[in-house]
Amino acid sequence: DITQIRPSTVHRKAQTRPRMHDPDEPNPSGDELELQRTIGVANQDQQPATANFQFPKPRCTVVSNPDPLRLPSAAPPPRRCGAPAGEMRPSRRRPGPLVFPLVLLLLALVPSPEAAESTPGTRTRKIGGAASVFSLFNLKPESKFWSESVIRTEFDDLEGSASRDSSKKALLNFTRAGNIANYMSLAEIDSIYLSIPVNFIFIGFDGKGGHEFKLGPEELERWFTKIDHIFEQTRIPPVGEVLTPFYKTSVKKLKQYDLPLISHINYNFSVHAVHMGEDVMSVFQHAIKVLSHREDITDSREAAEALWQVDSDQMEHLFSTLVDHLQIQEAYNIFILNPKPIDKSTQNGYRKGFSESEINLLRENKTLQARILQSKSDKKLYLDIETGVNRRPLYDSHPLSSFSWTTTDNMDMGDWSKRCKEALSNFELLKEGKSKDDTVYDKAVQILHGKKDELHDILESALRSSDLKGLHAECLTDMWIGRDRFAFIDLSAGPFAWGPAVGGDVVRTELSLPNVAKTVGAVAEVTEEEAEEKLQDTIRERFSSFGENYHAVDILLAEIDVYELFAFKHCVGRRVQLALCKELDERMHDLKSELEGYNTGDSDDINKKKALDALNRMEKWNLFKDTSEEHHSYTVARDSFLAHLGSMLWGSMRHVIAPSVSHRAHHYYDKLSFQLYFVTQEKVRNTKQLPVNVKSVTEGLSSVLLQFQKPMFSQHMLSLSEDPALMMAFAMARRAAAVPLLLVNGTYKSTVHTYLDSAILQHQLQRLSEHNSLKGGHSNHRSTLEIPIFWFIHSEPLLLDKHYQAKSLSNMVVVVQSDVDSWESHLQCNGRSILWDLRRPVKAAIAATAEYVSGLLPSHLAYSSAHETASEDWTWSVGCNPLSITSKGWQLSEFQRDVIARNYIVTAVEESIQIVNSAIQQLITERTTERGFKLFKAQERVLVEKYNSVVSLWRRVSAMSKGLRYGDAVKLTSLLEDSSHGFADAVNSTISSLHPVQCTRERKLDVQLDLTTIPAFLAVFLLLWFLLRPRRPKPKIN
């Protein structure tokens, strides 16, 4: 089965497929060799082998006939190593006097290197790098997906060429090719593409959402088509000590990395915009109202400005039902909400846990605590929305092929919106009349009997203690990453801020999200009364600068300035014109008449010039005229808003969908063996006596596994008091540092942090484990990966590298735990420090373990190609997952699980490309000769089959990634590794079979006679003869 894809030109290396030449066709030129490349699908049942890319040295030895059917039957007589070709065994007679000049003559006839290069058949032609072939490995810039329609099978071509290997034309093609890679049409692979489908779903942009903002398909294509493009998978060098010197992440640049920081694997994003109608918008507006309550439950004032919190867990369930109804689970979905605010004087945000006022109420009410502990799961506390009924697949008539704008009508979404509204209405009836104690009770029962995560463990442990130690308020956010493949942004919520407290790059601020109210909405929402007040304020501000000496023309000019400024802000682009704008339009006509009077009257020249300039300026105005809405669709405010929104959506692709990963090579293992070493100050007999919830730790660590992986756990107890060497290692790694801290009231102070230096600790632990069974490296064996986790338990506050609770090192994971339930971290949200419970570092341990196992990094990190280092963006550090700073929870989302599986695949494909490119490089340097033709033809079919087996696996991996079937693609990584090494071994075997032939079979010495050197050597010979000739001895005369 051979596939042929026609070429074009691209500024990349040629993508390659081997082919077997038809001997009847003439050998193409160097440029024509680039024009058609073929790929054959080969046998995948090859035995694994180890790649070895060393050229075997030519040996002058007696070589037996390896193939009696291809080589002549009469073998030449053996010769001594080093003897010239064709030389017979020398006699034992003493050399005559003419031997010396004959040797000099032979040396003179040896060709120079320049002459050797010009000898036919010895020069190697390089494959041109400018030409290229488009295939599934290197698509055209406008292409989005490759499909089976591009591929056509021609299996007969492979069989037909093998039957005519002995023809003279085939031999001529082989010798003219220059090198084996050129003959097989092979060049190094530059890139392979993995398709990633993405949906941006807009809700509330039909003119009936917040601030009546309307977004059309033309604007969408104008601003968001550039998102639909390709970028490389990137890797981040090892992260150094954070917050040095100003809370900025630093990286350690190495001389060589396991894999390149900018990968050969490119992500081909196929972005689709989906516009939801009024029905869907009404559901989410109703949900925000029903699922929210005051953030400060002690504030019962009706008219006061209030902050409301929405239950993010219930909102997740609502979004998941919408994704299921539209059948878009096999794509990443980013929802952009623009609902109408609950009230103009209120703000809302999303949170899963408790607010500070709710925690205080729960701490003071012991009866409520006991009631929660005795509670049972109640289904009425959750939204009951039936799923899987009357689904409306979104892309039945809209295939995922290119950028598109899809609109769902009410017929598609009517059934879903009806079921959601019924569930929300029932939930609202149960909520009516409940006290603030009941509100806290319902929230606690949802967490306690819902999905188990760190927040569940914290609440359960806090309720068993009298003062609720370790229970802290979570951050309010206006965006959220769900457990499934969706995230949402609420443009009407907030604004909020989070990130490092003292410094840092790209922290989340109140201006990070585009604000509809402050851009396009600011013009549309001003009422008549507000407009009148703003006009008076503008008049007072403008005329306050007048002194005693002024002319009437100056008053008129100032009045024009006021009307011009007001009109640009509150009259231009409105759907419904203000009555005040019409009055100002009439007043402008009167001002124009007065200025014309000054221009033609007896006024002085200065005032005439002022009046003339004002009249010329007024002629160009169109401030108070009615204009169509479409004419103002592309205003500066709208463009600014859409550009800001596009930047946010691009950030979601770079930090959520396809983030950067660790620089190490991370492979897929069938089993993960977690070796937990609990290091305590005093001896502890068993794990039940440890201040650690081992069950939560094992459940959390299991969350980093993929579907087909199996976990294994082993616990070991180590004591510092009983192990002097371990105590010495701990003492040597212990450090203290002064760390800056910014308090909530804005004051600065310096605190002293006691921490363990991870580099020193790792070095000491490695020395201790030299004679033990500690194994933490990523071995070549793909069966089991052993993960040593050192869990240090200390009574005093203790961190890692000043600011970490856990850290992933090259061959181990280190976790520190202290007996402190409330620790002010270097992070903040909404003006308050984020508090850590140092007694429960489970979330940090899982994040560090995920980095060690799969290369998964925190959401705020990404690789910057411009700076060639790591960059930060804290905007998407949200959601209930271990990579978020704004919420508790250690359950990985589907986004992060896909990143783990995709990194396994990318590592395998990346290493496969490196092996194949190294093998192709050897074929490029191996010249083609007439003597080696038959031996090469005996190996050609094996080379083609081995290469095509690799290509077939690349194609299967690319096809599976289109539907996000990473679990199936991961299973092919071991087969891909074996196939790549099989191709490399076939290349080595072919080259090894050619080198002995070039040494033993090529008896004829190809030399060129240069007549200009003969007279010179004769002159030298005569001079030497004259100087060295025997002379007569002189007689001695006494």
- For 996-1020, write each residue's pLDDT tens digit: 655 555 455 555 666 777 888 888 8
Domain for residue 107, yes or no?
Answer: no
pLDDT at 560: 80
In terms of average pLDDT, the best of 599-603, 703-707, 750-754 is: 703-707
- What's residue 35's pLDDT? 29
Clarify whether residues 501 and 467 are in a common domain. Answer: yes
Q: How confident is the model at residue 1037 (pLDDT cuts 50, 70, 90)?
A: low
Region of poorest pLDDT, from 143-152, 426-435, 843-852:
143-152
Given this model, what pLDDT does residue 102 score?
Answer: 47
What is the token pair recorded at 895?
């986004």
DSSP state of 501: S
Lowest-pLDDT range, 19-33, 267-281, 666-680? Answer: 19-33
- What percent of the chain shows pLDDT beyond 90? 32
Same domain for 541 and 494, yes or no, is: no
**49 or 168: which carries more pLDDT confidence?**
168
pLDDT band at residue 876 using 50, 70 and 90 as cut-offs: very high
For residue 672, report the phi and psi dihedrals to the nearest 5 degrees.
-120, 120
Classify residue 879: in a domain, yes or no: no
Structural domain total, the chain: 4
Q: What is the pLDDT of residue 1035?
A: 58
> Looking at 852, 884, 916, which one is the last position of a domain?
852
Does residue 32 carry a pLDDT above 70? no
Closest CA to 199 of 416, 403, 478: 403
In a domain, 247, yes or no: yes
Confidence of residue 78 (pLDDT cuts 50, 70, 90): very low
Residue-averaged pLDDT of the chain: 76
Sign of CA dihedral 35, 38, 39, 43: negative
**Looking at residues 18-26, what average pLDDT do you find?**
45
Is the pLDDT confidence value at 244 over 60? no
CA 786 to chain centre: 26
Q: What is the pLDDT of residue 109?
A: 45
968, two tokens: 């199936």
3 state SS of 737? strand
Same domain, 331 and 257: yes
> For the residues 667-675, what does the mean pLDDT come to?
94
Report residue 38's pLDDT band, with 50, 70 and 90 as the boundaries. Answer: very low
Q: How far apart are CA 525 and CA 13, in angstroms?
A: 56
Q: What is the pLDDT of residue 791?
A: 96
Do 217 and 83 share a structural domain?
no
In a shared domain, residues 224 and 129: no
Quick one: average pLDDT of 110-133?
A: 36
Amino acid letter, residue 900: I
User: Sign of dihedral through CA atoms 603, 606, 610, 612?
Assistant: positive
Distance separating alpha carbons of residues 14 and 5, to the nearest angstrom = 13
Q: Do residue 476 and residue 531 come from a single domain?
A: no
pLDDT over 90 at 856, yes or no: yes
Average pLDDT for 390-419: 68
Q: What is the pLDDT of residues 269-327, one digit of tens each?
A: 888 888 888 889 999 999 999 999 988 888 777 655 788 999 999 999 999 999 999 98
pTM (2 d.p.): 0.74
Give me the pLDDT at residue 750, please. 80
pLDDT of 840: 92
CB atoms under 10 Å from CB of 589, counted, come to 10
Average pLDDT score over residue span 485-497? 93
736 falls within a domain: yes
Does a structural domain hold residue 891? Answer: no
Domain that holds residue 753: 671-852
Mean pLDDT of 365-373: 90
Backbone φ and ψ of 274, nearest 5°: -125, 125
Residues above pLDDT 70, as percent of the chain: 72
Distance CA 827, CA 803 (A): 10
**pLDDT above 90 for 89:** no
Domain shared by 601 and 715, yes or no:
no
97 vs 29 pLDDT, higher one: 97
Count CB atoms within 10 A of the CB of residue 280. 23
Among 602, 632, 662, residue at a domain's last position? 632
Residues 6+ apart with CB under 8 A from 643: 223
Question: Are the beta carbons of 390 and 295 closer than 8 angstroms?
Answer: no
Q: List strands edge to edge, sheet with 799-800.
A: 734-742, 748-756, 799-800
374, pLDDT greater than 80: yes
In this predicted structure, the answer to whether residue 352 has a pLDDT above a threshold of 50 is: yes
Confidence at residue 547, expressed as pLDDT on a 0 to 100 scale: 60
Confidence of residue 83 (pLDDT cuts 50, 70, 90): very low
Identify the pLDDT of residue 41. 32
Same domain, yes or no: 134 and 24:
yes
Most confident of the following: 217-231, 362-376, 572-586: 362-376
Top-confidence residue, 512 or 247: 512
- Asked whether residue 175 falls in the same domain as residue 296, the answer is no
Do 549 and 484 lie in one domain? The reply is no
Q: Does residue 525 surpass a pLDDT of 90?
A: no
Give the Cα separation of 549 and 665 in Å (integer).
79
Residue 886 has pLDDT above 80, yes or no: yes
Distance CA 815, CA 849 (A): 10
Q: Tell whether the model's pLDDT for residue 338 goes beyond 50.
A: yes
**pLDDT at site 540:** 80
Between 736 and 685, residue with greater pLDDT: 736
Question: What pLDDT digit, counting tens, does each position of 432-481 carry?
Answer: 888 888 999 999 998 888 877 778 888 888 888 877 888 999 999 999 99
- Asked if residue 887 is part of any domain, the answer here is no
| Strand, helix or coil for residue 925 | helix
Gap between the Cα atoms of 636 and 632, Å rounded? 9
Describe the crossing of helices 528-543 and 552-570 by its angle, rounded to 10 degrees.
Answer: 140
* Final residue in a domain of this structure, among 791, 820, 852: 852
**17-26, 47-56, 740-749: which has the minimum mean pLDDT?**
47-56
In a domain, 783, yes or no: yes
Both structure tokens of 572: 């231009």
| Three-state SS letters, 738-784 | EEEEECCCCCEEEEEEEEECHHHHHHHHHHHCCCCCCCCCCCCCCCE
> Is the per-residue pLDDT at 381 higher than 80?
yes
Q: Based on the domain organization, do 531 and 517 belong to the same domain?
A: no
Confidence of residue 571 (pLDDT cuts 50, 70, 90): confident
Residue 573 confidence (pLDDT): 58
* d(C-alpha 69, C-alpha 460), whole Å: 81
Are residues 239 and 361 both part of a single domain?
yes
Half-sphere exposure of 96 (CA within 13 A, CB side): 4
Q: Which residue from 853, 957, 946 is spatially nearest to 908, judged by alpha carbons?
A: 957
Choice among 86-95, 139-148, 212-221, 624-633 with the minimum mean pLDDT:
139-148
Q: Which of 450-459, 657-666, 915-924 is predicted with the least confidence, judged by mean pLDDT?
A: 450-459
Judge whether 662 lies within some domain. Answer: no
Distance between CA atoms of residues 347 and 709, nearest Å:
45
105-118: per-residue pLDDT in tens? 444 444 443 333 33
